[in-house]
Amino acid sequence: MSYETILVNAEKNVATITFNRPKALNALNDKLLTELSAALDEIAAQKDIHVLVLTGSGNKAFVAGADITELATLDAAQGKACSEKGHKAIGKLQELEIPVIAAVNGFALGGGSEMALASDFIYASEAAKFGLPEITLGLIPGYGGTQRLPRAVGANIAKEMILTGKMISAAEAKEIGMVNKVVAPDALMDEVMKTAEAIAAKGRVPVRAAKKAVNEGLNVDLPSGCTIEIDAFAACVSGSDAKEGTSAFLEKRKPVFNA
């Protein structure tokens, strides 16, 4: 499919979605959310895609938030529909069976931070900035920020960020556990693709099982989470990926997993 607000590319079992509204700092409008949702459905249907990378076009922004020109016109019913649409589109990142890496190359504010938080982990440029500034507009985060940020960094830090609307640097985001790695701007995509390709080279079944076990386990108590892990392990152990991985180890060679 072709899109107007995003670019979609696939290479070496890794797909990349680039938010492509540079004049608006890649802000999330209704059309972008529609196209993102469709692209995620398209990627989910392709068995040869093992990892998804998200980034923004240009060197200023990943996603600078929701499009305020649209938000300013909404009544309560329209606001609910807008929030539901954003939740549905961004929520698909967690629902994807494959891992999702956010390559945050600039401003990730409001919906941009919410998009990154819905990914499995975040690599950031030294120039990146994070924040949930909705409170300064008389609003609150509407695309999952009040739920995902506390789970990522703890309730106290999340409430401070949300209630003040302050913006933090990539280094601060790493310090609080929001970001995994911070690199020079010109090294960001190389570093992200190195990790994406390393994951893509692993067995497809265990990678997906691991993501599912972690995500589902976070929503239950520890004993229930351990049961999820036991069932996932059992499903993997008799599969072809496990047979190849264990055989390669015993034969002292590098495993070659089926794509």
The stretches of the chain forming alpha helices (DSSP H) are 30-44, 68-71, 76-95, 111-118, 145-153, 155-164, 170-175, 188-200, 204-217, 222-237, 240-250
Single out the catalytic residue among 134, 160, 216, 229.
134
Q: Helix, strand, or coil here: 131?
A: strand
Residues in the chain: 259
Which residue(s) pair with 19 in the sheet?
A: 6, 56
Q: Helix, strand, or coil here: 251?
A: coil
Active site residue 160: no
Output the DSSP codes for 10-44: EETTEEEEEE--GGGTT-B-HHHHHHHHHHHHHHH
Q: Which of the 8 DSSP states describes residue 127?
A: T
Active site residue 134: yes
Within 13 Å and on the Cβ side, how many CA atoms surround 217? 16
Q: Which of 86, 132, 90 is nearest to 109 (CA)?
A: 132
Single out the catalytic residue among 114, 160, 175, 251.
114
Work out the number of other CB atoms within 10 angstroms of the CB of residue 11.
Answer: 9
Catalytic residues: 114, 134
